[in-house]
């Protein structure tokens, strides 16, 4: 059976791609952020996941305001990167695991989640930048299952709905018959607002509360409404929904292994967290 070995939460700010392309990892502005991935690299080298299920939000590459699914799951063996602007170099394609994707899709539909099934899907910086941060050599040795959550066009799914989506995905992964080691990842945020009267808004206190609750009491975050999240974390800070889905996928005992928080990175509160999944370890030992 497939095992969920743990979870990763990270930002996907487009400017990180430029910093990587220009070799600015040791620059004083960037070093506190990139240093937060030193532990991630060691964890990945130790755990060696076969696949990563990525909860993220599409930025107009696959979906736009006229057609915006609440949840969409990729079912491809390859995901091309055709990112949008900023002069970011286009990364190579990421490998997909269509068999795992279709298993998750079937289980979600059986569990009464209405999703969009994508047999042709591209990925933008919300997926490629986290992959490059995880594997800075440029060799991405994992297959991915991208799950897009609408954080753009209202009405947005509630935090509770996204957490329950993660629960259903986690159950689907653990019912998959192949012996895969799977990591789950949520990308985006934390607090930030890129436009309007509150452009540049960052809420450090709320970010810390979210990180604490993600580690110890994620259900507490499901009580917020979308409007409350926007008020507390900024219009784009609702990308916390991706982190909540990631955290919901780990249904057993979860331990916080690492966190890094640095502000600002391009007007964004950049956070990185790693969670160990004790339930998976127990099942492996058995």
Q: Are strands 3-10 and 122-123 parallel, antiparallel or unpaired?
A: unpaired
C-alpha closest to that of 168 among 84, 96, 73: 73
Give the separation between CA 198 and CA 16, rounded to whole angstroms. Answer: 22
Active-site entry in 103, 125, 262, 277:
125
Give the separation between CA 197 and CA 218, rounded to whole angstroms. Answer: 30
Tell me if residue 227 is catalytic: no
Strands (E) located in 108-161 = 116-118, 122-123, 143-149
Q: Are strands 51-56 and 181-187 parallel, antiparallel or unpaired?
A: parallel
Active-site entry in 12, 103, 192, 277:
192
**What is the enclosing helix (H) or strand (E) of 79?**
strand 78-81
CA atoms within 13 A on the CB side of 245: 29
CA atoms within 13 A on the CB side of 219: 2
CA 58, 63, 64, 70 torsion-angle sign = negative
Tell me if residue 103 is catalytic: no
Residue with tokens 């099934």: 117
Rounded (10°) angle between helices 226-233 and 204-216:
130
User: What is the number of residues in the chain?
Assistant: 286
Catalytic site residues? 125, 192
């Amino acid at each position: 059976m497939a095992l969920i070995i743990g979870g990763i939460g990270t930002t996907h700010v487009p400017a990180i791609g430029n910093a990587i392309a220009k070799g600015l990892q040791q620059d004083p502005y960037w070093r506190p952020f990139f240093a937060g991935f030193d532990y991630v690299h060691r964890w990945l080298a130790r755990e060696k996941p076969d696949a990563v299920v990525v909860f993220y939000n599409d930025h107009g590459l696959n979906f736009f305001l006229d057609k915006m699914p609440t949840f969409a799951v990729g079912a491809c063996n390859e995901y091309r990167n055709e990112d949008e602007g900023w002069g970011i170099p286009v990364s190579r394609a990421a490998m997909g695991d269509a068999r795992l994707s279709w298993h998750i899709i079937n289980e979600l539909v059986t569990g009464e989640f209405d999703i969009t099934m994508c047999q042709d899907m591209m990925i933008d910086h919300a997926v490629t930048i986290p992959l490059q941060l995880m594997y800075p050599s440029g060799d991405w040795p994992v297959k991915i299952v991208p799950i897009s959550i609408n954080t753009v066009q209202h009405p947005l799914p509630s935090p509770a709905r996204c957490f329950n989506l993660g629960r259903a995905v986690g159950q689907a992964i653990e019912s998959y018959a192949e012996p895969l080691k799977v990591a789950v990842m949520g990308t985006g945020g934390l607090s930030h607002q890129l436009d309007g009267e509150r452009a540049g808004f960052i809420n450090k206190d709320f970010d810390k509360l979210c990180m604490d609750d993600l580690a110890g009491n994620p259900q507490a975050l499901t009580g917020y409404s979308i409007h409350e999240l926007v008020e507390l974390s900024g219009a784009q800070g609702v990308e916390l929904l991706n982190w909540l889905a990631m955290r919901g996928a780990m249904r057993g005992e979860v331990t916080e292994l690492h966190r890094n928080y640095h502000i600002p990175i391009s007007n964004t509160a950049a956070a990185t967290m790693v969670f160990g999944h004790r339930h998976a370890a127990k099942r492996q030992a058995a």
